[in-house]
Amino acid sequence: MRTAELFEQRPVFSLEVFPPKPDADESVIYQTLEQLSDIKPDFISVTYGAGGGKNGCKTIQIASDIQNRYGVESVAHLPCIGLTRTQARDILDRMHEAGIENILALRGDRTDGSDAAGDFRHASDLISFINEYYDFNIIAACYPEIHPESTGAVDDLKWLRYKVDCGADHLITQLFLDNSYFYDFREKACIAGIEAPIEAGIMPVTNKRQIERMVKLCGVELPKKFVRVLEKYEHNETALRDAGIAYAIDQITDLIAEGADGIHLYTMNNPYIAHRIYDAVQNLISVPAAIS
Ligand code: FAD
């Protein structure tokens, strides 16, 4: 099923997982998926390491298994940085043969020289390419706090609109910890004529190193309320985990009440945390959007 069709009835609830590292025990991801599939999410997306490395094969296999073994819709991520058109065709052909219908088309993060060899400069190039040769449902990334490389909010929205015009059917945000960024962004996206549904990306922050890495990589602002929680519980692993779960539940409750199209939970491959959050919000997401 194409994910863009899921938004008609009620807020969508979806999950993200990442494939195991090359030397890791592969059975662990299947235990994780087994437990996550109990949640009956609308779909599960599988990340893909930029640069077209071998882990991409795992993305395709896992996305295919999510559908065929667990009966849950899947989305395969695909970052285009460093890929030639021939390589992109090969990957997309394999995704199509594996029965995958939904692609999250991304640029990927730039590293030194990473895009020198490739044929794609931006996600929009990949989106146009997919639309020219295939019939996938296409999802794209968006940034309530602006992409770190962006020259400003207006430009960022202009390029987002361009991604939608090139063929993106549905958008998922980068994580944010202050919902007001999401509401502001959603309003501006609407003014910019972006009509694709926008799912809010929520990452339960359960350890200090994780959030420090995210702030550095994504430029996410830490609200005062969040910093207070972090400082109070940073030396107590269990308390910080529970506080991170409670914070994510609070964010989701507010987002659903404000009519968000959907919630995309970055699970970090942790079914325990995903279950705690889902158990707390499942009645909220089962209410049809028109009533909310
Ligand atoms: P783009 O849309 O190309 O945007 C990048 C920058 O260029 C922005 O500043 C934008 O304003 C600007 N821009 C966009 N289009 C144009 C244009 N045509 N001309 C000029 N400027 C333009 N990375 C991975 O490697 N693997 C993953 O699996 C992965 N999954 C992700 C999932 C989500 C939901 C999100 C939000 C991000 C994910 N990322 C992943 C990270 C992503 O690859 C990075 O954020 C990357 O830096 C930008 O990707 P993009 O697709 O948004 O790029």
Is residue 291 assigned to a domain? no
Single pTM value for the model: 0.96
- Type of residue at 244: G
For residue range 44-94, list pLDDT tens digits in order. Answer: 999 999 766 656 789 999 999 999 999 999 999 999 999 999 999 999 999
Whether residue 262 is predicted with pLDDT greater than 60 in this model: the reply is: yes
Question: What's the average model confidence in pLDDT over 228-238?
Answer: 93
Looking at 16, 73, 145, 199, which residue is catalytic? 16
What is the C-alpha separation between 104 and 174, in angstroms, rounded? Answer: 13
Q: CB within 6 Å of ligand 1 — which residues?
A: 47-48, 50, 77, 79, 104, 106-109, 122-124, 141, 147, 149-150, 155-156, 159, 162-163, 172, 174, 201
Taking phi over 0 as left and psi of -120 to 50 as alpha, with beta for the rest, 3 belongs to alpha
Higher pLDDT, 217 or 44: 44
Burial class of residue 184 (count of CB atoms within 10 Å of its CB; 0-12, 13-18, 19+): middle
Whether residue 290 is predicted with pLDDT greater than 60 in this model: the reply is: no
Mutation test residue for ligand 1: of 146, 147, 203, the one with most atoms within 8 Å of CB:
147
Q: Please give the structure tokens belonging to residue 223.
A: 């609200």
Is residue 250 assigned to a domain? yes
Average pLDDT, the chain: 93
CATH number of the domain residue 151 falls in:
3.20.20.220
Is residue 177 assigned to a domain? yes
Question: Burial letters for 267-284: b for 16+ Cβ neighbours within 10 Å, e otherwise?
Answer: bbbbbebbbbbbebbeeb
What is the total count of domains within the chain? 1
DSSP 15: E
Place of tokens 């199509």: 96
The C-alpha angle 280, 285, 287, rounded to 5 degrees, equals 125
Higher pLDDT, 175 or 110: 175
Assign 137 a pLDDT band (cuts: 50, 70, 90).
very high
10: phi then psi, degrees, rounded to nearest 5: -160, 170
pLDDT at site 48 = 96
Q: Please give the structure tokens belonging to residue 36.
A: 């996550």
Is residue 50 assigned to a domain? yes
**Cβ neighbours for 194, distance < 8 A, ≥ 6 positions apart:** 157, 160, 161, 164, 171
For residue 154, give its domain range.
3-285
Question: What's the average model confidence in pLDDT over 122-143?
Answer: 98
Question: What's the average model confidence in pLDDT over 216-234?
Answer: 91
Is residue 142 assigned to a domain? yes
Q: Is 8 a catalytic residue?
A: no
**Ligand 1 mean position, distance from CA 63 (Å):** 21
Is residue 290 assigned to a domain? no
Higher pLDDT, 211 or 243: 243
Q: Please give the structure tokens belonging to residue 232.
A: 């109070």
pLDDT at site 292 = 43
pLDDT at site 291 = 44
For residue range 93-131, list pLDDT tens digits in order. Answer: 999 999 999 999 999 988 766 556 799 999 999 999 999
